[in-house]
Amino acid sequence: MRNGDCWEPLIDLATGRIVGWPEGVTADVHYKVCDQGFYWLADEAGRNVVKWASDYVPDDLLCRGESGHGDYIILRVAGDGMIDGWLSLNFDPDEWEAA
């Protein structure tokens, strides 16, 4: 899931499964992003369509079970790549901007 020094998972929004997650590996992710993250929604072909408009982590999407206060990505990932407590994205177009 790394690209250089960055963690770049691809999450299937409909299911909450991280695409390409190594089978059997579990993780308790607690990454401090601190205004450096970029968050995209892509179409089925993988083209970035819209970008999160804020400098903060989209807590509703990337903090499951705890608050990341806009600075942390907090996820528990099961051995099948499923994010525990995943909820479908409640898309507010005012929080995203065109790519």
Selection from 51, 7, 13, 4 nearest residue 33 by Cα = 7
pLDDT at 16 over 90: yes
pLDDT tens-digit series, residues 70-88: 899 999 999 999 999 998 7
**74 in helix, strand or coil?**
strand
What is this structure's pTM?
0.87
pLDDT tens-digit series, residues 20-62: 999 999 999 999 987 778 999 999 899 999 999 998 998 888 9
pLDDT number for residue 79 = 98
Q: What is the mean pLDDT of residues 79-99?
A: 89
Per DSSP, 21 falls in state P
Contacts of 91 (CB under 8 A, 6+ apart): none
pLDDT number for residue 60 = 85
